[in-house]
Structure 1
């Protein structure tokens, strides 16, 4: 019977099913899966994806199909030179072709029969291709390279491993130095697609000696080869960043290319993406000295008025800023902070979001680093962003402001004088939950950091933050409830300094009680979270206990006799302890009630 009761307890309202750690791990896996899918979509467009399933016999490809070995660069860029003149889509224009590709992103998933047919066809074609690749005929080599490039570009799951198993990757690397320029183009394109695979597949390309060759191609006068080389290096760096940085001098090569180009072009866009790929992820102590030589190129690229370049460069700087104090200082020393603050108002949402994220990381540093951003006029920009129509923009603006209000008194004073507190309070009252979370942190940090100068805290309180903070206490989020309780605790402490001029009353305790805050705080004494229970008990005990004490005194008479002061205090303490431990003592009883209700 007891075992059945225990089982019923566990399934009652899904109790014990949603473990917090398990939910966290599930969210992490979902985020990883989303990033993986996004990466596949980007790679699909970078391989010049076709919508139709690869089910055509590749033997019908002739030498006329190898005249244009260029390709698309990113999702946002349309390069019509990458469309073959044979019009795989019939009469549809190249622009329409790419539009359809990007709207569908992936090809329809074939059934098992179609997949088997495609695999057999590819295996048959590869056996013929290997023979042509190893021949001495440039024409046969070129046609075979084009066939492989199309196989790797058209497949939903490109047969990278099958191509590697043919043992022809070293041959591709040899073609990179061929005197025939079209061979070099096709080989570079094929290798670029191969290094979009798994780490062990990328390792095969590295073992074939491709890294030094790609570094040398950066010094080529051919822009297409530079483009392919940068692209391949960016893909390799995703798995072997330190190895790429130790091979050659990427920073100097990028600077030389930038010096030769005055207008945005495909090479600079690919360069920005490659630098962003290199800066992505946690940077180790050994990697940071290798990344620093690329910073001058990053600082040069941020001056180009091209959305794609700016988007990738802002993300590169964001990845770097999300690190040590030394990394933030390195970004500040580049002199790019004014650019970043201006880009927070960029018309492109992608550029704007990346710039906001970068500034957010910088102001998370020390007070001196935060002051650099303040000197760039960020508060004026934030005043505009806090009333943006985009919820995510408002949220990021509040996040940045919360880091600023966690600074020193002068910085908080600046925030108050600019007039940002009323805007934040409005968001705390009338916005989505994610924005309200960040707005609550803004008010909390401002009150906490300014409590040593009560006039600043009073100035914040008078702008109407108490009611919104009390409203936050009704949310089902323990983290934000605790933040709000801490802010209320400090407000009540400041209110104690005003009791003399308010006839002995704490004006803020009366306000909190008037808007229903006292009842909510009292209920939190029985919350499952220990920190919330403790701070709620302290607030009630210090600021709202007078009526309770009067009630206890009136109840302390037994048979017309008053209990002595020592006994009375012991009884009060006992009742307070009972109240504080009420949840622990009654957990079993409540579970029994739930189980009986379930019966």
Structure 2
């Protein structure tokens, strides 16, 4: 438990003083990896598993190829390819290999690699027949959807550069799409293979296509957006600043494409780039993409709202100047009130974003208050699922630590004491520390600003069961929890004359016995 607390504490960075040294934060390494791994299970690599699909040339002067029934073992396929096969044989063999690799269950990727057929597939990319090229690209796509060992075999055979060159040279968009799909799978495996693809000029070729994105069909645009996502996805290491500058125009063009899936993946790509230091955030800011990201938040489509909130949340984890740029987009007043009425992952991302703003300057905290978002954070704390409650607690704790007495008092006005009292039975240390931080700060602000109503708020907290929980938590093993509880009771609820003035308590005189 202690290790977990320490890890999560590293989420925070402070732009203020004292206890605020842990306030504004970027997500922990562990959290990012878990989030990316969850997404990666679906998106890092994709297999093309439609075994009934046949190649159809986009060229109007080429007759549709009608495949003949053909079957052979992989060793037999290898033997055929080694003996000067005809074009018709090449078509049949590579289509057969592709169909085997497109099985929904147990595709024979190991067998294809072990037979040395990956080299043949790469060689086929250079054969002057689009049907052969397409089948080979599709088969390679499914080979590199496998393990790192499978992907390494394709990389070692020269697949990456061959696929990129074919995507650039062909006029057939279906073939280019399949080549990009395979390259995306290669890059999705690990940062080493991503860097290899970048060395093979994937970004300039990607830019050639995205510069004309509006003329492309949605299927190809979606693949290109996913390629962008995999270029930006890996964190250890992230792409360098020069590479960021090169890929940002592609992301901007994809964000402008009228397709939800394209915009969604492009925004995830941007979220990976902005999970970075301030220098990288400045580079992304210079690309002037904030209005497009804000539009995604306004879309009311959760799958687009979530990555867009992540982008803005990453920005406001930067320095105060960068945070102010985000506030100046008017997102707090124009968009966030409706977002805070959502639930699940969208609300969690929104609370996280606000928690970073609330660790900022006094004017930045006031911008959140003026947008009417404090009551919505209290509501999220009360009614959200636990992950939402956790992020809301961080946000409210940051306000309590970073705000002025007047700003902290807005928490009392929003009913925070009643909300917190009902949650102090949760046995989660970070959560408890954040809640007790809020209680202590709010009671202090009331004492300073509105001492005449202190008893009213104390009664509210006590009536909701808060003081009972606080008394019990004095026995908590965590030192911070104990200290907060002791201070709350000692400063606001302990009365020295309780025993003296109790008429039912008689003080017995000592009986001396000699």
Which of 443, 460, 474 matches 1:525? 474
Structure 2 residue 198 is matched with structure 1 residue 210: no
Q: Which runs of 5+ in 2 are unaligned?
A: 9-30, 59-63
Structure 2 residue 207 is matched with structure 1 residue 259: no
Which of 362, 380, 385 matches 2:339? 385
Which of 415, 428, 442 matches 1:464? 415
Residues 49, 184 of structure 1: alpha-carbon distance in 2 compared, 3 angstrom cutoff: closer
Structure 2 residue 483 is matched with structure 1 residue 534: yes
Structure 2 residue 63 is matched with structure 1 residue 133: no
Determine the structure 1 residue equivalent to 2:287. Answer: 334
Residue 323 of structure 1 aligns to a residue whose secondary structure is: coil
Residue 234 of structure 2 aligns to a residue whose secondary structure is: coil
C-alpha deviation, 1:414, in angstroms: 1.4
**TM-score, normalised on structure 2?**
0.82
Determine the structure 2 residue equivalent to 1:172. Answer: 121
Q: Deviations over 1:94-127 (max 9, x none)?
A: xxxxxxxxxxxxxxxxxxxxxxxxxxx99x6112
Which of 426, 431, 442 matches 1:480? 431
Q: Deviations over 1:344-382 (max 9, x none)?
A: 132533222222222222222222222222222211211
C-alpha deviation, 1:548, in angstroms: 7.0
Distance in 2, Cα, partners of 1:261 & 1:495: 58
C-alpha deviation, 1:33, in angstroms: 8.7
Determine the structure 2 residue equivalent to 1:570. Answer: none
Q: Which runs of 5+ in 1 are unaligned?
A: 1-15, 51-64, 71-82, 89-120, 562-599
Contact 2:57 2:130 in 1 (8 A): no
Structure 2 residue 174 is matched with structure 1 residue 224: yes
Superposed, 1:419-458 pairs within 5 Å as 419-450=372-403, 453-458=404-409
Distance in 2, Cα, partners of 1:369 & 1:222: 43
Residues 174, 430 of structure 1: alpha-carbon distance in 2 compared, 3 angstrom cutoff: closer
Superposed, 1:140-219 pairs within 5 Å as 140-219=89-168
Which of 380, 396, 399 matches 2:349? 396
Distance in 1, Cα, partners of 2:40 & 2:290: 31
Contact 1:315 1:354 in 2 (8 A): yes
Determine the structure 2 residue equivalent to 1:110. Answer: none
Q: Deviations over 1:530-581 (max 9, x none)?
A: 22112211222222232477569999977469xxxxxxxxxxxxxxxxxxxx
Determine the structure 1 residue equivalent to 2:183. Answer: 233
Contact 1:320 1:327 in 2 (8 A): yes
Please tell me whether Structure 1 or Structure 2 has the larger radius of gyration of its CA atoms.
1
Contact 2:161 2:197 in 1 (8 A): no
Contact 1:472 1:480 in 2 (8 A): no
Residue 474 of structure 2 aligns to a residue whose secondary structure is: helix
Residues 257, 320 of structure 1: alpha-carbon distance in 2 compared, 3 angstrom cutoff: same
C-alpha deviation, 1:277, in angstroms: 1.3
Contact 1:242 1:287 in 2 (8 A): no
C-alpha deviation, 1:287, in angstroms: 4.6
Residue 102 of structure 2 aligns to a residue whose secondary structure is: helix
Determine the structure 1 residue equivalent to 2:248. Answer: 295
Contact 1:429 1:436 in 2 (8 A): yes
Q: Deviations over 1:171-224 (max 9, x none)?
A: 222221112222111111111111112112211111212222222123222212
Distance in 1, Cα, partners of 2:83 & 2:228: 38
Which of 41, 47, 50 matches 2:49? 47
Contact 1:192 1:231 in 2 (8 A): yes
Contact 1:357 1:396 in 2 (8 A): yes
Distance in 2, Cα, partners of 1:410 & 1:271: 41
C-alpha deviation, 1:67, in angstroms: 4.5
Between stretches 524-533 and 364-373, larger displacement belongs to 364-373
Contact 1:311 1:354 in 2 (8 A): yes
Q: Deviations over 1:215-244 (max 9, x none)?
A: 212322221232122111111112311111
Distance in 1, Cα, partners of 2:395 & 2:4: 26
C-alpha deviation, 1:260, in angstroms: 3.5
Residues 69, 263 of structure 1: alpha-carbon distance in 2 compared, 3 angstrom cutoff: closer
Contact 1:495 1:507 in 2 (8 A): no
Contact 1:367 1:407 in 2 (8 A): yes
Residue 376 of structure 1 aligns to a residue whose secondary structure is: coil
Residue 392 of structure 2 aligns to a residue whose secondary structure is: helix
Residue 116 of structure 2 aligns to a residue whose secondary structure is: coil
Contact 1:496 1:506 in 2 (8 A): no
Residues 392, 492 of structure 1: alpha-carbon distance in 2 compared, 3 angstrom cutoff: same
Distance in 2, Cα, partners of 1:351 & 1:538: 45
Contact 1:264 1:306 in 2 (8 A): no
Distance in 2, Cα, partners of 1:516 & 1:325: 44
Between stretches 283-292 and 180-189, larger displacement belongs to 283-292
Which of 319, 323, 328 matches 1:375? 328
Q: Deviations over 1:19-46 (max 9, x none)?
A: 989xx9xx99998996676469x734x3
Residue 135 of structure 1 aligns to a residue whose secondary structure is: coil
Residue 132 of structure 2 aligns to a residue whose secondary structure is: helix
Q: How many residues align?
A: 474
Structure 2 residue 34 is matched with structure 1 residue 68: no
Residues 354, 187 of structure 1: alpha-carbon distance in 2 compared, 3 angstrom cutoff: same
Distance in 1, Cα, partners of 2:484 & 2:122: 66
C-alpha deviation, 1:275, in angstroms: 1.1
